[in-house]
Amino acid sequence: MVKTALQVFEYGCVAVGTDKLLPKGITAIPAAAYLYLKQICLNEIVNTQFLRLKNLSGVEVLQLQNYAGVILTPDGTQIEVLPKVAKHSNLENSLAKSRAALLNMLRELGSFRHIQTNTASVKHQKMPLLEVFISQFLSSVNQLIKKGLKSEYRERRDNLLYLKGKLRVSEQIKHNCVSQHKFAVEYDEFLPNTLPNQLVKTALSKVITLTRSGTHQKLARELLFAFEDVTFIERLTSDTENIHVSRGMDYYQSPIAWSNLILKGHSPLTMSGNSKAFSLLFPLESVFENYVASILAKLTPKNIKFSSQAKSQHLVTYNTKGMFKLKPDLMLSSNNQALVVLDTKWKLIDLDKNNGTDKYQLPQADFYQMFAYGQKYLGGKGELILIYPASKQFNQPIPFSFNFSDELLLWVVPFDIQHDTLDENRIVFPNETVLESLLNRRLECQRSLR
């Protein structure tokens, strides 16, 4: 059971103590939770790139990295980690907008396509992230029960007082010579004790231990009654993860997906062997890249090929062999000719910080990378686009292009992750001439290849 729940933003720090005594910006967590996370952080075997041990203002802290999600420690401490892209002075608004942004991005991941962002609970964002997931899982199970649990014929062997199915002659002679009023039989019985139902029941049982909501606990227990004739899964296997949903069982897809998520988690942190520990963490760099790719793929004209993770070019050639493969996140092409190269970066840009030192907080390394893409994929001529998440400090594109040359231009634009509408306004260009330039290049490329 969750005893303590707290929220931390991406790259935030946690430490033992109280919020009043700790330096500003450090969140206090119980000593048991801190010790558990510190042990994992220092474990060389466990993959813990989401945590870093450091000293801040003379205090030992654990700093969360660019991951978002939920961590539940064995002592009952639940840490909700949210992206800082929507962080501002009003904490409640920051939490709501950060959850909305994360949910919008997650629903474009294949395994999270069942997330509904238009429900009342999600729209108002008053639930912690884990409770949002649990709410939607319980809703999907409720719908499953209303449509009916799927049963299958299972072979059963028994010693009954009446003849049913097929008599097992050898067993009858062996066991019923004295008890001649009984029959050793073999028969098929139509039962709901199937693997999908077992998975869902096991997830329902775990949800009761994870949720802090009395409403969710009550609903989970009520739903468990429908699975009275179904057994629990003792150990997860590859079969449970790859359950085939047959024709006529489409309504099982959402409950099965949520069940696997709840039982297995999704994290770089291995918590196997500890039933009281749970993690659901997502690398924001990858989630943002996947989200932008998914949205832009839907907006790209059909006559233009949209591809992700192109890898046909190398930075250098050594003895006729390519070395250091160049892999831009996204690319628009036509007839095997690259038109526009796009790359996503999960970093905060600030339009107010435009001077010789800050340069909008744009990393120089990103520009070197884009220059290499422009030379190798566009032949030094064309447009490059760097995409950063939109935020309060970066809600408009940088007005002018960054010119590597007169013919190779780089645009820096924001991408809206806080709304779930599918329209061209998700990515904003400085002016119409940028769009015209891109369209003209598409047309010229198509004409030259006719």
Arithmetic mean of pLDDT, 331-348: 86
pLDDT for 107: 82
Residues 130 and 273 in one domain: yes
Q: Is 12 helix (H, G, I), strand (E, B) or coil?
A: coil
Residue 295 within a domain: no
What mean pLDDT do residues 55-84 have? 89
Token pair for residue 8? 């931390």
Report if residue 210 sits inside a domain: yes
Q: What are residue 98's phi and psi, to 5 degrees?
A: -65, -40
Question: Given 172, 190, 208, which residue is the final one in a domain?
Answer: 190
| CA nearest to 111, candidates 301, 275, 241 | 241
- Work out the percent of the chain whose per-residue pLDDT is above 90: 25
pLDDT score, position 142? 94
pLDDT band at 272 (very low <50, low <70, confident <90, very high): very low
Decide if 348 is inside a domain: yes
Min mean pLDDT across 27-31, 351-355, 362-366 is at 351-355
Residues 43 and 94 in one domain: yes
**What pLDDT does 167 receive?**
72
pLDDT at 58: 86
Dist CA 401 CA 186 (whole Å): 78
If asked whether residues 164 and 233 sit together in one domain, one would say no
- Mode of pairing for the β-strands spanning 305-308 and 330-334: antiparallel
Question: Between residues 1 and 331, which one has the greater pLDDT?
Answer: 331
Q: Please tell me which residue, 165 or 335, carries the higher pLDDT value.
A: 335
Q: What is the pLDDT of residue 84?
A: 86
pLDDT mean over 293-306 = 82
pLDDT at 172 over 80: no
How high is the pLDDT of residue 273?
44
pLDDT > 70 in the chain, percent: 80
Joined together, the tokens standing for residue 40 give 């994992």
**To 5 degrees, how large is the angle CA 116–CA 51–CA 289?**
45
Q: pLDDT tens-digit profile of 275-291? A: 566 788 888 998 999 99
Do 305 and 165 fall within a single domain? no
- Do 182 and 242 belong to one domain? no
Show which of 128, 163, 190 is a domain's final residue. Answer: 190
Query: Is the pLDDT assigned to residue 155 strictly greater than 80?
Result: no
Quote the CA–CA distance of 222 and 249 in Å, as a whole number. Answer: 23
In whole angstroms, what separates CA 166 from the centre of its chain?
Answer: 51
Is residue 36 one of the residues assigned to a domain? yes
Asked if residue 324 and residue 206 are part of one domain, the reply reads no
Instruction: Select the more confidently predicted residue: 221 or 189.
Output: 221
Q: What is the pLDDT of residue 106?
A: 86
If you write DSSP's letter for every residue of 213-267 in order, what string do you get? -HHHHHHHHHHHGGGTT-PPPSS--HHHHT----TT-GGGHHHHHHHHHHHH-B-
Mean pLDDT lowest for which of 20-34, 179-193, 322-336?
179-193
Give 265 or 12, the one with higher predicted confidence: 12
Q: What is the mean pLDDT of residues 51-72?
A: 89
Pair 137, 114 in one domain:
yes
Within this chain, do residues 124 and 201 fall inside the same structural domain, yes or no? yes
- Top pLDDT among 40 and 438 is at 40
Which residue has better confidence, 397 or 160?
397
Asked if the structure places residue 359 within a domain, the reply is yes
- Which domain does 61 fall in, by range? 4-148+195-284
Examine residue 120 and state whether it is found in any structural domain, yes or no. Answer: yes
Q: Note whether residue 316 is domain-resident.
A: yes
Task: Provide the mean pLDDT of the chain.
Answer: 81
Structure tokens at 51: 């945590």
Q: Are 29 and 173 contained in the same domain?
A: no
Residues 443 and 306 placed together within one structural domain of the fold? yes
Same domain? For 120 and 265 the reply is yes
Note the pLDDT tens digit of each residue in 205-264.
Answer: 999 988 888 899 999 999 999 999 899 987 777 666 667 777 778 888 888 888 888 887
Residues 105, 247, single domain; the answer is: yes
With contact defined as beta carbons under 8 Å apart, do 243 and 199 qualify? yes
Per-residue confidence (pLDDT) for residue 374, from 0 to 100: 93
Among 108-122, 201-215, 364-378, the range scoring the smallest mean pLDDT is 108-122
Q: What are phi and psi of 400, to 5 degrees?
A: -120, 155
Query: Which of 445 and 83 is assigned the larger pLDDT?
Result: 83
> Which residue has better confidence, 164 or 443?
164
Strands 402-403, 321-326: parallel, antiparallel or unpaired by DSSP?
unpaired
> Which candidate, 89, 11, 86, 102, places its Cα nearest to that of 392?
86
Q: What is the mean pLDDT of residues 39-49?
A: 73
pLDDT given for residue 45 in this prediction: 60
Given a cut of 80, whether residue 27 has pLDDT beyond it is: yes
Cβ 183 vs Cβ 162: under 8 Å = yes
Give a three-class secondary structure readout of 57-94.
Answer: CCEEEEEECCEEEEEECCCCEEEEEECHHHCCCCHHHH
Question: Tokens for 359?
Answer: 């340069």
User: How many structural domains is the chain composed of?
Assistant: 3
Q: Are strands 337-344 and 382-389 parallel, antiparallel or unpaired?
A: parallel
Looking at residue 268, what is its pLDDT? 55
Taking 70 as the threshold, does the pLDDT of residue 121 lie above it? Answer: no
Domain edge (last residue) among 253, 284, 315: 284
Task: List pLDDT tens digits, range 392-405.
Answer: 889 889 988 899 99
